[in-house]
Structure 1
Amino acid sequence: MCTRAQWTAEGQPVLVGRNMDWTERQGAKLWVLPKGIERSGLTDQNPLTWTSKYGSVGTIIWGGVSSDGINEAGLVSNVLYLAETTFKARDNDKQGLTIALWAQYFLDTCATVAEVVKACQNLDVRPVKLVHKGVAVDAPVHMSVSDPSGDSAIIEILDGETRIHHGPQYTTMTNSPPFEEQLVLLKQYEGLGGRLPIPGTMEAEDRFARAAFYLTKLPEQPETYQAAVAAVMSIMRNAATPLGANDPVRPNISATIWRTISDATNKRYYFEFADMPNVVWMDLDNFDLSENGQPMMFDLANNFEASGEISGLFQPTELFETTKADGVVTWQPGD
């Protein structure tokens, strides 16, 4: 499920593309969240509490799970599936945070990747129950973060421990196997250290190789800003899985259903559904992200004629209800 690629060519905006792959619709909606929102980590004991320092724009799925977004400082977060994610027993000495707010916590409180890495040290991130085809599992995900400097980090929870790869060289991310193993596999391909041709299957390690390889083929100096955005979009579409191509057993091998591009430099957020021809985008400067601002939402799935810059189409609304730690994601297609 999913592919992420970050492009940081000299003199160009820092652009982060991501595909969301899943077996069914997730009720994805676009949200504007101002600063000043008081939040809880939603664990039964010693929950993390905070007040959002930065406003953000992002994609909320399953009614209350933060999956992707960018804040007004230019920090970008992307949550992807990782089947090997495993959680240990709750450590009540650490402040607890539901994984449904994992991405949003960093968007609310951090301006740089370095701040995110530091903030990870004192957190106990707790799963929510994700029901997929009747089977409930502890939501197995990992996260990437990026910032306007081109810095990057990949954050995984393996054997209950947080493992972080931090540095601008970590531009690509998909799913299984864990990131350390992906880096080893990557070296076998032509142009990336080896001699094998670039693979073309839907497997996560093959999408990883394609995204990494084609990032090296983007023009050093695109003629226009539009060309730069289109270049990253072409990478994401190359790494996408066609509609209908779902593995019946592995949800990490599923069709691409939506994608985003986050412009960390210019604070712009692009979004498209794979089954709709229109791309929309939002400039964060067009929203009131101050403490006086209101949460706002836009549902592209029910406004399929929208295209281009859509900040004027968002409507004020009540804040979504986040799934608590160890709670069950109750959203169902059709809700």
Structure 2
Amino acid sequence: MRNSLKILTCSFLLTSSLVYPCTGISLKTKDGSLVQGRTIEYGEGNLNGKIVISPKGREFNSITPDGKTNGLKWKAKYGFVGATVVVDQFIGEGINEKGLNAGLFYFPHYGSLAKYQTKDAKTSLADMELVNWILSNFETVDQVKKEIKKIKIVNIAHDEKGDPLPTAHWRVGDAKGNNIVIEITNNGEVNIYDNKVGVISNSPDYPWHVKNLNNYINLHTGNAEPFEYNGQKIFSFGAGTGALGLPGDVTPPSRFVRAFFYVNSVGVQSNTKLAVSKTFHILNNFDIPIEVEFPEKHRAHIPADVMSATQWTAVSDLTNREFYYKTMYNSQIRKIDLKNIDFSNVKLQVLPMDEKNEENIQEIVVK
């Protein structure tokens, strides 16, 4: 166990200082159901994403900066399905059997967790295991709000100077339609925001992103109205002139604005099946070619096994308790129906996201 833990900790030390751009959106239906989707990006190497089926009754013991599994202990009240990042123990996005969804989003320069104290090990939880804790313990956002302040969330690793490596912020939604963003700043200050705009990206903090939307108050769907100036007719060349000024780069602020525009453009959906489809279509706009992350002189360092900076995209239907995903290798959407899993008897499973690392292309035979 100790050797496995050392390997896990070393793996995290090598990767936790890396940048994980991600974009998350939420769509609601007319009956108040919630669908949440997100992308996860990284260009420096393969995140080794896998699917985890986690049973009810599973026992957890968090790792700590001590390099031991001497942190918070708990027994899972609920089973869940999730997608991993870096190692099988770290869930990046998932949904549990009660329809609670949670995911982590990279939050550099702004996230600031409580300083780890060995004496507090039993109440300390590694930041990369917070999603596990949420999904295995709760069924509503209100429960998460109440309980999260009772534990200490700590950075699992530090750099060579002893400074904590960047952490995450988190999005949580439930089957009642509640949706929050959790940000921990100022050495452990827990801030919880109602995610009214239905969007999350990376730094800066959530209130900054919402305030920044005021800079794009002119954007609207459709076309700008034509007008005449001194006898000269001014008109649209084509569709979409109402969106002129919509930022197209891949920085977190621009992705937040663009996601907000698309989410509000499609509006409230009639049912969750349509909302799932719309969510995938919107998130296609945030599929980042890996070459974008590398200047020309560093193109030789692009990993051969990473097809896209966007390594996987996941969507959760919280009402119907369904988890959908696609990957950088295969854009075929796959679904796991949690209603068909007996979480009281199923065993812990770690499954590959793809059977083969290649696109599922269907050839149309013309007769």
Same structural fold, with TM-score higher than 0.5 when normalized by the shorter chain: yes
Percent identity, aligned pairs only?
A: 27
- Work out whether residues 186 and 192 of structure 1, in 8 Å CA contact, stay in contact via their aligned partners in 2: no
Partner residue, 1:235: 282
Verify: 1:203 aligned to 2:251, yes or no. yes
The CA distance in 1 between the partners of 2:27 and 2:358, in whole Å, is 30
**Match of 2:216, SS?**
coil
**Match of 1:149, SS?**
coil
Judged with a 3 Å threshold, the aligned counterparts in structure 2 of structure 1 residues 154 and 164 are, in CA distance, closer, same or farther, namely same
- Work out whether residues 13 and 266 of structure 1, in 8 Å CA contact, stay in contact via their aligned partners in 2: no
Q: What does residue range 13-32 of structure 1 map to in structure 2 within 5 Å?
A: 13-23=33-43, 24-32=45-53
The CA distance in 2 between the partners of 1:140 and 1:184, in whole Å, is 23
- Work out whether residues 181 and 195 of structure 2, in 8 Å CA contact, stay in contact via their aligned partners in 1: no
Residue 303 of structure 1 deviates from its aligned partner by: 3.5
Residue 183 of structure 1 aligns to which amino acid in structure 2? Answer: V
1:184 equivalent among 188, 191, 211: 211
The CA distance in 2 between the partners of 1:212 and 1:141, in whole Å, is 21
Partner residue, 2:181: 154
- Using the size of structure 1 for normalisation, the TM-score is 0.80
The CA distance in 2 between the partners of 1:241 and 1:157, in whole Å, is 28
Verify: 1:68 aligned to 2:121, yes or no. no
1:40 equivalent among 61, 66, 75: 61
Residue 259 of structure 1 deviates from its aligned partner by: 0.6
Residue 305 of structure 1 deviates from its aligned partner by: 7.3
**Match of 2:293, SS?**
coil
Judged with a 3 Å threshold, the aligned counterparts in structure 2 of structure 1 residues 212 and 276 are, in CA distance, closer, same or farther, namely same
1:214 equivalent among 237, 262, 275: 262
Structure with larger Rg: 2
1:245 equivalent among 292, 295, 318: 292
**Match of 1:276, SS?**
coil
- Work out whether residues 148 and 265 of structure 1, in 8 Å CA contact, stay in contact via their aligned partners in 2: yes
- Work out whether residues 60 and 73 of structure 2, in 8 Å CA contact, stay in contact via their aligned partners in 1: yes
Q: Which has the higher contact order (CA 8 A, sep 6+)?
A: 1
Partner residue, 1:274: 328
**Match of 2:319, SS?**
coil
Judged with a 3 Å threshold, the aligned counterparts in structure 2 of structure 1 residues 184 and 219 are, in CA distance, closer, same or farther, namely closer
Residue 54 of structure 1 aligns to which amino acid in structure 2? Answer: Y
- Using the size of structure 2 for normalisation, the TM-score is 0.74
The CA distance in 2 between the partners of 1:102 and 1:79, in whole Å, is 8
Partner residue, 1:113: 141
Aligned residues: 297
Residue 270 of structure 1 deviates from its aligned partner by: 0.5
Judged with a 3 Å threshold, the aligned counterparts in structure 2 of structure 1 residues 67 and 280 are, in CA distance, closer, same or farther, namely same
Verify: 1:104 aligned to 2:132, yes or no. yes
- Work out whether residues 6 and 14 of structure 1, in 8 Å CA contact, stay in contact via their aligned partners in 2: yes
Structure 2 residue runs without a partner (length 5+): 1-20, 221-242, 299-307, 361-367
